[in-house]
Amino acid sequence: MKIFVGTDIIEIDRIKDAVSNEKFINKIYTTKEISYCESTRNMKFQHYGARFAGKEATFKAISAFLTTPEKFAWKNIEITNKEDGKPQVEIINYEDEGLKNVNLEISLSHVKDYAVAYVTAYKE
Ligand SMILES: CC(C)(COP(=O)(O)OP(=O)(O)OC[C@H]1O[C@@H](n2cnc3c(N)ncnc32)[C@H](O)[C@@H]1OP(=O)(O)O)[C@@H](O)C(=O)NCCC(=O)NCCS
């Protein structure tokens, strides 16, 4: 089995500035992600930050599998939540032979000033 990991940390203040720009939001986040982040007033920037860190961490974890990384975009990674709140990450609208049968697991955490993400990518 091949296993790779990726991790990332981000300052919430940085994401707060960035998400005030609609162009940034639409370049980075999918419609489902925006809808989740906008659904809570208090934690909005932590949710955006966690998903940004989650995308960076995912890219780090899958980069060794990618055969055409230059074609990969932020919105090819989508992070959603199951009913119990557990996050899940999927690669969407992107075909790459190297990603066939790759499984992903993600974990997110945030406090007032920081968000972190950890991703594992594995393939039999
Ligand atoms: C769900 C829980 C783990 C979240 O932890 P927290 O310290 O409150 O918050 P964190 O900032 O670390 O994590 C928040 C993230 O946890 C993730 N999360 C939520 N529910 C989850 C679940 N059921 N499983 C895994 N991850 C979950 C989400 O990604 C969330 O961020 P998001 O809403 O932006 O997607 C916590 O509220 C909980 O229920 N803990 C149970 C503790 C317990 O039972 N302990 C006894 C045994 S150790």
pLDDT tens string 34-58: 999 999 888 999 999 999 999 999 9
CB 119 within 8 A of CB 109: no
Q: pTM of the full predicted structure?
A: 0.92
The SS3 assignment for 8 reads strand
What is the helix (H) or strand (E) element at residue 89, kind and residue range?
strand 87-91
Atom of ligand 1 nearest to the CA of 85: 20
In degrees and rounded to multiples of 5, residue 105 shows phi and psi of -130, 140
Please work out whether the CB of residue 87 comes within 6 Å of at least one atom of ligand 1: yes
How many structural domains does the chain have? 1
* 95-121: pLDDT as tens digits: 999 999 999 999 999 999 999 999 999
Closest atom of ligand 1 to 111 CA is 11
- The CATH number given to whatever domain includes residue 105 is 3.90.470.20
pLDDT of residue 38: 95
- Atom in ligand 1 nearest the alpha carbon of residue 115: 11
Q: Which domain covers residue 68, as residue numbers?
A: 2-123
The pLDDT value given to residue 40:
86
Q: Using CA atoms, how far apart are residues 63 and 60, in angstroms rounded to an integer?
A: 5
Q: How far is the CA of 98 from the centre of ligand 1 (A)?
A: 32
Nearest by Cα to 52 from 101, 95, 17, 4 = 17
